[in-house]
Amino acid sequence: MRILREKLRILCAALVSVVSFSACVSAQKSAPVFDNHVHIMSPQMIILFKDVGIPFSKPDADYSDITAIRKRLGTDRFNLISMAYLFGNPEFGKVEDVRKAVEAENDFAAAAKSTDPQNIKAFCGIDPLRDFALEEAKRCFEKLKIDGLKLHFNASQIYLTEPEHLEKVRPIFTFAAENGLPVLLHFDNSHPKFGETDVNLLVDEILLKIKPVKLVLAHFGTSGGFSEKTKKVLSAFIKRFKEEPKLAQHRVLFDISAVALDKDSDGVLKLSDEQFLEVKEYAGKLGFDKIVFGTDYPLYSSAQYLKILKDRVKFSDREIAEILSEKGDVTNEKK
């Protein structure tokens, strides 16, 4: 069950959670914020997931229709994240031709972006362990003209402690670095020992061996919520930033999506008042110049999540402004 829970969490989209839309949201105006972490699913993916019993709490359009997504999210400017990396994972239903399904899903995200390419940036979902991973990254970049790559180490069950995995992940990062593509990384693979060792492997065996890259760690480096593991991972990064001057050549950022949970979500518990304050404490340690805004939509709308950051985490207006500042557009330095 734990595995299924974790797999559900992979959707990181809280498909099963009930987001109650409060009056404040219906009254909200389109906030001019940039949201770094917004999911889209094709109708085919929704059918597949429904077939294996994954419940959806909202109308299908809210997951797959770009107009409905924009409306419910409440901002027009965002990174649209394909979840193509889930195909082939037996927990999410069987597809006959994984590669074809992955390509179709990434095509779907790219097509949604094409409705407003000025404001919407698309990220292809890539599973580095697939034989065709690098070819798909190239296809996404050259043919689909996408803006970034999303890797999900829990969905793909990637362990940098496994030399074989490392050898498959590094070429994807190299490709991203050489082509100015940002990488959005769900780093936590859910292993109980995931932590400092993995951070050091990412730094020493990948980041210090490639050209400058823009890397955004989703959910502050773990899988949502704010646990002891999140603190350990953040502390390990902070340590390396201090001790390793060469890391400064990269732009390493952390998205705060799904961290400040005010409701339980797929087995991840909502935060206590004390934990909300710890989020603020660790954000200060990390530095607001390294934090970007994201909702993990459909988990929250932008207005809902900003309200939580203000009222529960108690970020000051200035801190909120720093989180929302333009570095939030991870593609803004793309050549």
Q: What residues line the site for Zn ion (CB under 5 A)?
A: 12, 296
Least distance (Å) between residue 222 CB and Zn ion? 12
| Cβ closest to Zn ion, residue 103 vs residue 296 | 296
How far apart are alpha carbons 90 and 241 in whole angstroms?
38
Considering beta carbons, is residue 188 or 203 the nearer one to Zn ion? 188
How many CB atoms lie under 10 A from the CB of residue 43? 13
For Zn ion, the closer of residues 28 and 154 by Cβ is 154
255: helix, strand or coil: strand
- Closest distance to Zn ion from the beta carbon of 271 (Å): 18
Instruction: Give CA–CA dist 317/313, Å, rounded.
Output: 12
Q: How far is the CB of 12 from Zn ion (least distance, A)?
A: 3
Give the C-alpha separation, 13 to 294, whole Å: 12
Nearer to Zn ion, 126 or 203 (CB): 126
Closest separation between CB of residue 102 and Zn ion, Å? Answer: 17
Q: Which residues contact 246 (CB under 8 A, 6 or more apart)?
A: 208
Amino acid at 18: V
Cα 265 to chain center, whole Å?
A: 16
**Token duo for residue 136:** 């798909």
Residue at shortest CB range from Zn ion: 12
Helix axes 163-178, 133-142, angle to 10 degrees: 10
Q: How far is the CB of 155 from Zn ion (least distance, A)?
A: 10
Of the pair 183, 203, the CB lying nearest Zn ion is at 183
